[in-house]
Amino acid sequence: MSVASAVAEQVLNGLVVGMVYVLLAAGLSIIFGVMDVINFAHGELFALGAYFAFAIAGPLGGAGFWVALVVAPLLVGVVGMGIERLTVKRLYGRDPLYHILLTFGLVLIINDLITSVWGKSAQPFPIPAVLDQPVALFGFNYSLYNYGIIIFGSVLAIATWLLLNRTRFGMIIRAGSEDREMVRNLGINIDRYYTLTFGFGAALAGVAGIVLGAYQNVSPTMGSSVIIPAFVIVVLGGLGSFRGAVVGGLFVGLVQTFARTYAPFLEGLIVFLLMIVVLVVRPKGLFGTNIGAGEHHDGALLHGAGGGVLSSATRAKIGYAAVGVLVVVPFFAELTGVTYSVTLLEDILIWALFALSLDLVLGYAGLVSLGHTLFYGVGAYASVLTLLHFSPSVFVALLVAVVVCAAIAWSVGYLSIRVSGVFFAMITLAFAELFYNAVFKFDFTGGSDGLFGVDVFYGLAGIGIDPREFEIPLGIMTIDGGIVQYYFLLVVVVGSYLLARRLIRAPFGSVLQAIRESEERASFVGYDVTAYKRRAFVVSGGLAGLAGGLFAANNGYVAPSFLHWVNSGEVIVMTVLGGMGTLYGPMIGAGVFVAAEDILSSYIDQWQLVIGVLFVLFVIFVPRGLVSLPQTIAEQPLFDSVVRDRAKVNDPEVERHD
């Protein structure tokens, strides 16, 4: 094969993948453009399309594929409309963050449903025999199915463009994406169009799923593997821009394919690097306009502050009591033999610290960091690398973790905090994914295995405690290295909490909260909003790095999964579950989440489903988090509070910033 035809084949491969991305990103982009909803569940709708088609085509035999290609996307569309009606719709007018949270819950639900119906392993989904043959063109053989994808994808993309630009439906949703209140004022029921739009976007994702499922195979992870690239495409092309989704999709498909063949080292990195460059140079994306997208930051973040019925003195007492309980737990565990509870508590403490760190930016500065696990993971790697190569001291390792993460937070913040809202969320996500993909590539990070076999020393310069040798018999029990590790962790976490509290109560904290309430007003009063946010982000990154470092030091290993985006999602869930904007709320949220996950996963297989459902209900009905529950229960019946929260969100004063 000549060089030219080899390149031509790569181009075709790139276009095939690109077409799948185009369909996926177009739906995502339309849904964002029209409703301001960042649909994390889009990847799962994509997978659902593939599985529906798989289930329909199988029993029907020969013509089954064609039936499935029509019926499955319609079913996914119906599922999409159901999701919009039952869940997404309830959150219009709130900050876009809540849609990220909601759809993150939906990811857990749909993914668990797929696994429980069709199993965990990948399954082959045969393409129809008619298309399963090579075609000789441009001097080489290439599958007819692949040509089919390219043509079919182009036709669908053109049809979508026509729908958006040449029909009444398209005109109304374009108008709605620019000024939905005005569309309502004209006497048009925009809600109906929202439902249809969501269904349409979902159906497009379903088509993409079928096409890719038959190109490769169907598997429960196919959704989570495409969602991040799809986000990258939407951001690259410009949020809400259909043209951007098409150009971005094809471009990313081509770049990925070429990188895989000609520069394997860059595969997985190049797309994120491109996204970061584009966002830094042109934050609105290649084809983004200033109309609509990103401009209106409507709806307030509902924080949990002031939600408690308890006085701060009572809360402080409860806090002391909680720390007291945490102090004595190891003794009881030792006495009763339930040492596992100590391990679980260690996990909770670490996640509590991680959630606390996120809350500093999310709850206090109003910055949605979608890639916070970047700091957790990098902190873990930094501390393990320090322990392996420089010093066995856990103090040194943690210090390095904090410093490295704070430095990274400063640079990421420098690049991204000036672009606000949704873009910040996307850039942080991109950075996290960049590091996630990068650790696979290097030897010093241990590739996909990670690094393990780390021993720690609780001391400096030889003076201190080596947990492996430490043992003090105390009556019927022994105090061992595990106990040292636990108390050290407890001290660090409580210390970090006190530090954060000090920071928030200082003028610095007041300015942050002013910024959260109204960035514009804070800047008019004369505060350098960007500088304050960046400082908060640096502290937050440092603390998250500390959490990651602690986990790695405690467990003696680090793996690429520490940097996986699911961690970022989970820590946001914990923060909101507990009640952001309070320092203790997220820590309670972490405790409840980790404990619930631990307990549920040992009793039922579908624990993700349960957590997902609970979380969706929480986002809709208790957006101020667990810490707001006492007040909710004390003051009025639950129903009433729901109505009140929604009334608050519908407050025209808020909507007017639209």
Partner 1 sequence: MSDDILLSVRDLVSGYGSTRVLQGIDLDVERGSVVTLIGRNGVGKTTTLRTLLGSVTPTSGSVTFDGKDITHLSPEKTAREGIALVPEERRVFPGLTVRENVEIGRIGGRQDIDKPTVDEIIDEFENLVRHRNSKGANLSGGEQQMLAIARALVSAPDLLMLDEPTEGLAPSIVKQVQRKIKQLNDEGATILLVEQNVQVALDAADYVYILDKGQVVHEGPADEVAASDEILDRYLGVSAAE
**Residues interacting with partner 1, by CB under 8 A?**
168, 171-172, 174-175, 178-179, 181-190, 289, 291-292, 648, 651-653
CA distance 15 to 250: 6
Nearest to 483, CA basis, from 470, 495, 493: 470
In the complex with partner 1, the residue whose CB is nearer, 85 or 418, is 85
Residue 490 Cβ vs partner 1, minimum distance, rounded to whole Å = 43
Residue 160 Cβ vs partner 1, minimum distance, rounded to whole Å = 17
In the complex with partner 1, the residue whose CB is nearer, 175 or 600, is 175
In the complex with partner 1, the residue whose CB is nearer, 48 or 183, is 183
At residue 574, what are phi and psi to the nearest 5 degrees?
-60, -45
In the complex with partner 1, the residue whose CB is nearer, 175 or 592, is 175
In the complex with partner 1, the residue whose CB is nearer, 175 or 614, is 175
Note whether 369 and 571 are within 8 A (CB): no
In the complex with partner 1, the residue whose CB is nearer, 307 or 548, is 307
Residues with Cβ within 8 Å of residue 351, at least 6 apart in sequence: 547, 571, 574, 590, 593, 594
C-alpha angle with apex 380: 368 to 537, nearest 5 degrees?
30
Residue 297 Cβ vs partner 1, minimum distance, rounded to whole Å = 18
Q: What does DSSP assign to residue 465?
A: E
Q: Which two tokens stand for residue 216?
A: 């490769």
Residue 35 Cβ vs partner 1, minimum distance, rounded to whole Å = 16
Strands 477-480 and 471-474: antiparallel
**Residue 102 burial (CB < 10 Å; 0-12/13-18/19+)?**
buried
Nearest to 577, CA basis, from 87, 101, 106, 103: 101
Residue 642 Cβ vs partner 1, minimum distance, rounded to whole Å = 17
Nearest to 546, CA basis, from 387, 362, 388, 354: 354
CA distance 640 to 306: 18
At residue 143, what are phi and psi to the nearest 5 degrees?
-65, 135
Residue 421 Cβ vs partner 1, minimum distance, rounded to whole Å = 20
Note whether 355 and 586 are within 8 A (CB): yes
Residue 166 Cβ vs partner 1, minimum distance, rounded to whole Å = 11
In the complex with partner 1, the residue whose CB is nearer, 180 or 533, is 180
CA distance 247 to 244: 5
Strands 557-558 and 134-137: unpaired
Residue 172 Cβ vs partner 1, minimum distance, rounded to whole Å = 6
Tell me the HSE value of 544 on the side-chain side, using a 13 A CA sphere: 33
In the complex with partner 1, the residue whose CB is nearer, 179 or 598, is 179
3-state secondary structure of 464: strand
Q: What does DSSP assign to residue 637?
A: -
Residue 93 Cβ vs partner 1, minimum distance, rounded to whole Å = 12
Residue 189 Cβ vs partner 1, minimum distance, rounded to whole Å = 5
In the complex with partner 1, the residue whose CB is nearer, 187 or 475, is 187
Residue 538 Cβ vs partner 1, minimum distance, rounded to whole Å = 36
Residue 288 Cβ vs partner 1, minimum distance, rounded to whole Å = 12
Q: How far is CA 559 from CA 349, 377, 445, 523, 598, in A?
A: 20, 8, 9, 42, 20
| Amino acid sitting at position 493 | V
Q: Which residues of 469-478 are buried (b: 16+ CB within 10 A; e: fewer)?
A: ebeeeeeeee
In the complex with partner 1, the residue whose CB is nearer, 173 or 387, is 173
Residues with Cβ within 8 Å of residue 315, at least 6 apart in sequence: 308, 584
| Amino acid sitting at position 563 | L
In the complex with partner 1, the residue whose CB is nearer, 35 or 222, is 35
Residue 225 Cβ vs partner 1, minimum distance, rounded to whole Å = 34
Residues with Cβ within 8 Å of residue 280, at least 6 apart in sequence: 415, 416
In the complex with partner 1, the residue whose CB is nearer, 202 or 649, is 649
Residue owning tokens 């070429």? 258
Residues facing residue 135 across a β-bridge? 142
Residue 198 Cβ vs partner 1, minimum distance, rounded to whole Å = 19
In the complex with partner 1, the residue whose CB is nearer, 135 or 286, is 286
3-state secondary structure of 479: strand
In the complex with partner 1, the residue whose CB is nearer, 85 or 648, is 648
CA distance 570 to 409: 20
Residue 338 Cβ vs partner 1, minimum distance, rounded to whole Å = 51
Residues with Cβ within 8 Å of residue 52, at least 6 apart in sequence: 68, 71, 72, 75, 76, 206
In the complex with partner 1, the residue whose CB is nearer, 168 or 389, is 168
Nearest to 536, CA basis, from 281, 305, 365: 365
Note whether 186 and 172 are within 8 A (CB): no
In the complex with partner 1, the residue whose CB is nearer, 175 or 479, is 175
Residue 23 Cβ vs partner 1, minimum distance, rounded to whole Å = 23
What is the DSSP track for 591-625?
Answer: HHHHHHHHHHHHH-TTHHHHHHHHHHHHHHH-TT-
